[in-house]
Structure 1
Amino acid sequence: MDHHLLQVVALLTLIAFGGTSWSIEACSPIDLEALMSFKNGIQKDTSGRLAKWIGASCCKWEGIVCENATFRVIQINLPGLISTDTDLSQTQMIGRISPSITLLSSLEIIDLGGLVGLSGAIPDTIGLHLPKLQKLYLYGNNLTGPIPESIGKFPNLQELALQENKLWGSIPMSLGSLQGLKRLLLYSNKLSGIIPDSLGNLINLTELDAHDNALVGNIPNSVGEMKALTKLDLSNNFLSGKMPSSLTNLTAISVLYLNTNSLEGTIAFPSRSGEMSSLGFLRLHNNLLGGNIPSNIGYLVSLQRLSLSNNKLEGALPSSLGNLVSLTELYLSGNFLSDQIPKSLGQLSRLIMLNISRNLIEGPLPQEISSLQNLQTLDLSFNHLQLSAIPKWMANMSSLSNVYLAGCGIQGQIPDFFQTTNSPIQELDLSVNILSGSIPSWIGSLSQLYLLNLSGNSLYSDIPDSFRNLQDLGVLDLHSNRLTGSIAPVFEIEQGIFGGSLKFVDLSENSFSSGIEEIGGGQLSIQFLNLSHNHLEGRLHIPEVLANLTSLKILKLQENLFTGKIPNGFLKLLKLKELNVSNNHLEGEIPEGKPLVDFPESSYSGNKGLCGKPLGPCKL
């Protein structure tokens, strides 16, 4: 049906709706017909807006805006999220986008974003008949199929938002013809193939986001031609090759995310001051980048967050890192970086997070780090620091609350200066060191402590009674030490206003012998409990009180001295995903039902008296 015939049809439609008289409330016959066809393509509209589309006065319909002089429709605003002065509601439309929408030739804005039931393909000819369109929002729907080539035919398009659908196929080369485009959002789809070189023609583009797709191949050098770009996110694809040196031409860019791809080779940073000078966020983690961190990284003077974790970077940290005076977060973990931490890091006065864990960094630590008075988190775990002792100057860092020094060769007793730090300690990880002596009772005075990991040391003592005061404790790991006595203090922690926060408890591979019967119903939040490889007897049976821990997902009790039957109450542990009671002295029938029947035989093996599913049947 050609446009002339459609005009005739539209005119007849207008007559059917109330005659040929024209009013200021009426709209073009062609537009009226197009909107009615769009309405007919929607089977359900939970917002009720389309139900009000009646009569010929479409310029008064909700979601429709007309141009005053011509009465042509210039906007369709039907987003799924509706905001009023008193309410915010999510609605949906079930149906498909009618190709007749292309008859609305004066359209400037189409907003059908967030209509989660809108399915089918984007009309093939959408770009051929809408010469005035400036904004096309089709995000957050259930659209499928490819992005049509005609989408590159919009002469005035400024924003194209197709994210969060199920679109597949490649990115059309025709997108490079959208000279006025400022925002291109394609993320969270199923797009594949390469990034076309033609995107480099989008010299006015400020934001390109195609993360969470299945794009492959290299990042084209032409991306560096988009001089207005302030945000580039190509993360979570399957891109490979080297990071193109042309990215340093993006002098306006403030956010660059290329993480979780297969980028390899060396990092190319600016060769002189001024290039990429606006870059504020640089994320290249989870790739295959190798070589050294270039010294010219210091030219990125606006950088606030730098993440190079989980690559293959090697060599020394460049002293030029100290020039990044705007830096608040620095992530370098999971590489092969070596040599010592440069003293210049002490110049990063705004730094809040410093993570250099899992590298080959050597000691000693420069005292200049103590100048970082805004630093809240310090993670130097699993390096070749061989600290012997924790530097005392660490106690003078006024904001430090999260300290991770696992696997750093620390010897002797736990230093008592942690109880007098200027900022209350919230997370303390001293695991896999050579610590000895007892667990100090002053730890119970760390009123804001959430995480305590002292595992993998040679500590010997009981758990101090003062642990009962740790109301905010959420993670406790003391496994693989020489601890003895009762585990009761852990499970007698005073409840805070909102109840207990304890989620993770690992006391395995010690010599605890009592206290399991003290686990009360107040600790309902525990999800992981490992008491294996101890000398627990539990008054000759597994205490029924464990069945009160209904949030448990993992329960490990193997290699103890438990006798008697598995409590029937374990059938209440409906969230349990892993259970191990092997190698005890249990007997009797395993309670029949879920979740116990779902676990493998290995969960119950080494108990000569146990029977029932998944073990063999009980003898009568």
Structure 2
Amino acid sequence: MMYPTACYKFQRSLTHSKMVTMYGIWCFITVLLFSPVAFSELCNPQDKKVLLQIKKDFNNPYLLASWNPNTDCCNWYCVQCHPETHRINSLVILSSVPQTNLSGPIPPSVGDLPFLETLQFHKLPKLTGPIQPTIAKLTKLKEIYISWTNVSGPVPDFLARLTNLQFLDLSFNNLSGPIPSSLSQLSNLVSLRLDRNRLTGPIPESFGSFKKPGPSLWLSHNQLSGPIPASLANIDPQRIDFSRNKLEGDASVLFGRNKTTQIVDVSRNSLAFDLSKVEFPTSLISLDLNHNQITGSIPVGLTAVDFLQGFNVSYNRLCGEIPQGGRLQKFDVYSYFHNKCLCGSPLTSCK
């Protein structure tokens, strides 16, 4: 402790008549500066009460050990307060340790933090049960990330009420059932991730009515079936990943000369269409069509895609010579092999 020493040095510089008074003032200020009671609590009392209820509902896990009722909840781990209103606007509970003891369903009390803009539960393998219906009350939410958990049940229709949502990530869970068509009502959505679940049924036709350009769509590693909706020709998302499903028919609606899509992966489905008739956007960075039933030839237009970094059309029914030029010869044989009668560099000569 340095406080007595500091007070002693200070008192030597004063006359005896002022020493006692100033000594007391100095030491009183020092105590105030270093005492936790010197700072008023910023956290809203109701928000604090809700957070403590969430901790209790999770059976007081070690992950939330900093949630001490005797401290300011704006300083707690996983929590963020708005700098002006001091209301809780972010709740981000995640773990880098697989053995975390946080378990059980999402507490209903989560819905009692009305100023939340970000809600995240990530890498919590013992988080179970359905997505909590009280989340529908959080109308200020801009971001929901519930990923790498064991949350199950359907993708809830009530999420469409959260019209301020920009990012909805429900990937790497055990969600099942169909994708609600009502999600297309989220006009501010930038990214929709439903990949790595057990979803079934078709891609909703309503997804073509997303406000342009439309959100990036990550629907891979599910059990989705049926055709890719023709309505998707109306949107222009930055990224589309429909890989590893049971989709059938024509995927050419995803492309177009005037689109600005950068990444398309529809690999490992049962898609069947004539590739030679497709016009591709020059904005493409990656195109993966492998393991389908695609026919025709590789269109010459792909040689005009200057920034193509990833390309795979293997395991299809393509024929004809691989067009010369652009970046098509930059890819190895594995990007082209196992086709019906495709030839030319980097495959064997067509002669």
Normalised to the residue count of structure 1, the TM-score between the two structures is 0.47
Is 1:67 aligned to residue 75 of structure 2?
A: no
- The structure 2 residue matched to 1:142, chosen from 142, 150, 163, is 150
In structure 2, the CA distance between the partners of 1:35 and 1:158, relative to structure 1 (3 Å rule), is: same
Aligned partner of 1:157 among 144, 147, 165: 165
1:240/1:262 contact within 8 Å kept? yes
Q: Is residue 120 of structure 2 the alignment partner of residue 111 of structure 1?
A: yes
Quote the Cα distance in structure 2 between the aligned partners of 1:363 and 1:288.
Answer: 22
Conserved? CA contact 1:254–1:279, under 8 Å: yes
Give the 3-state SS of the residue equivalent to 1:34 in structure 2: helix
Distance 2:91 2:213 in 1: 25
1:192 to 189, 195, 200: 200
Aligned residue pairs, count: 311
Report the residue type matching 1:209 in the other structure.
W
* Residues 416-435 of structure 1 aligned to structure 2 (within 5 Å): none
CA distance in 2, matches of 1:69, 1:24: 15
How far does residue 245 in structure 1 lie from its aligned partner after superposition?
3.1
Amino acid paired to 1:212: H
Using the TM superposition, give the Cα deviation of residue 203 of structure 1 relative to its aligned residue in structure 2, in angstroms. Answer: 2.5
Question: How far did 1:39 drift?
Answer: 1.6
Give, in whole Å, the separation in 2 of the partners of 1:327 and 1:302: 12
Residue 344 (structure 2) pairs with residue 336 (structure 1): no
Query: 321, 330, 338: which one pairs with 1:317?
Result: 321
Could you tell me how far 1:270 is from its partner in structure 2?
4.9
CA distance in 1, matches of 2:191, 2:329: 27
Residue 33 (str. 1) matches residue 36 (str. 2): no
Tell me the distance in 2 between the aligned counterparts of 1:282 and 1:269. 16
2:138 aligned with 1:130, yes or no?
A: yes
CA pair 199-125 structure 1, distance change in 2 beyond 3 A: farther
Please tell me whether the aligned partners of residues 243 and 268 of structure 1 are also in contact (alpha carbons under 8 angstroms).
Answer: no
Structure 1: any 5+ residue segments left out of the alignment?
1-22, 83-88, 346-353, 365-620
Change (3 A) 1:119 1:282: same
Which letter does structure 1 place at the counterpart of 2:289? L
Instruction: Give the alignment of 1:540-559 within 5 angstroms.
Output: none
- Summarize deviations over 1:482-532 as a string: whole Å, max 9, x none: xxxxxxxxxxxxxxxxxxxxxxxxxxxxxxxxxxxxxxxxxxxxxxxxxxx
1:294 and 1:325 map into 2 onto residues whose CA distance is 11
Q: Deviations over 1:393-418 (max 9, x none)?
A: xxxxxxxxxxxxxxxxxxxxxxxxxx
State the Cα distance separating 1:187 from its structure 2 match: 0.9
Rate the CA distance shift 1:162–1:265 in 2: closer, same or farther, 3 A.
same
User: Which position in structure 1 is the counterpart of 2:233?
Assistant: 224
Select the structure that is richer in helix.
Answer: 2
Correspondent of 1:288 among 293, 297, 303? 293
2:279 matches 1:263:
no
Distance 1:310-1:99 versus aligned 2 partners, 3 A rule: same
1:511-550 correspondence runs (5 A): none
For the residues of structure 2 that align with 1:250 and 1:220, how far apart are their CA atoms? 19
Identity of aligned residues (%): 28
User: Aligned-pair RMSD on alpha carbons?
Assistant: 2.6
Structure 2 partner of 1:374: none
Map 1:174-573 → 2, pairs under 5 A = 174-200=182-208, 201-205=210-214, 207-227=216-236, 229-248=237-256, 251-267=259-275, 270-271=278-279, 276-314=281-319, 316-319=320-323, 321-324=324-327, 327-329=330-332, 331-337=335-341, 341=344, 345=345, 354=346, 356=347
Which residue type is aligned with residue 215 of structure 1? L
| Structure 2 CA distance for aligned equivalents of residues 163 and 247 of structure 1 | 25
Show the counterpart of 2:59.
43
Change beyond 3 A, Cα 1:325–1:104: same
Q: In structure 1, how many angstroms separate the alpha carbons of the residues matched to 2:195 and 2:53?
A: 30
Matched-pair contact (CA < 8 Å) for 1:104–1:130: yes
The answer (yes or no) to whether the contact 1:120–1:145 under 8 Å persists in 2 is: yes
SS in 1 for 2:203: coil
- TM-score under structure 2 length normalisation: 0.80
Of 157, 174, 182 in structure 2, the residue corresponding to residue 166 of structure 1 is: 174
**Bigger shift: 287-296 or 50-59?**
50-59
Aligned AA (1:283): D
Q: Which whole-Å deviations, capped at 9, do the CAs of 1:432-484 have from their partners, x for residues lacking one?
A: xxxxxxxxxxxxxxxxxxxxxxxxxxxxxxxxxxxxxxxxxxxxxxxxxxxxx
Residues 179, 204 of structure 1: 8 Å contact kept: no
Partner Cα distance (2:287, 2:146) in 1:
29
Cα deviation for residue 177 of structure 1 reads 1.3
Task: For residue 40 of structure 1, report the CA deviation from its aligned partner.
Answer: 2.3
Unaligned runs of 5+ in 2: 1-38
- The CA deviation at 1:207 is 2.6
SS of the equivalent of 2:338 reads: coil
Q: Report SS of the residue matched to 2:182.
A: helix
Q: 2 CA distance for matches of 1:242 and 1:32?
A: 53
Relative distance call for 1:250 and 1:219 in structure 2 (3 A) is: farther
SS at match of 1:74: strand
Alpha carbons of structure 1 residues 268 and 92: separation in structure 2 relative to 1, 3 Å:
farther
SS at match of 1:287: coil
Given the superposition, is the C-alpha separation of residues 363 and 208 from structure 1 closer, same or farther in structure 2, using an over 3 Å criterion? closer
Following the alignment from structure 2 to structure 1, what is the Cα–Cα distance between the partners of residues 242 and 101? 29
AA in 2 matched with 1:282: L
Contact persistence 1:102–1:130 (CA under 8 A): yes
Further displaced range: 105-114 or 198-207 = 198-207
Q: Distance in 2 between matches of 1:259 and 1:34?
A: 45
Tell me, in whole angstroms, the C-alpha distance in 2 between the residues paired with 1:284 and 1:107: 40
Distance 2:330 2:308 in 1: 6
- Change over 3 Å in CA distance of 1:44–1:165 after alignment to 2: farther
**Structure 1 residue 57 corresponds to structure 2 residue 72:** yes
Aligned to 1:483: none
Aligned-partner SS, 1:31 = helix
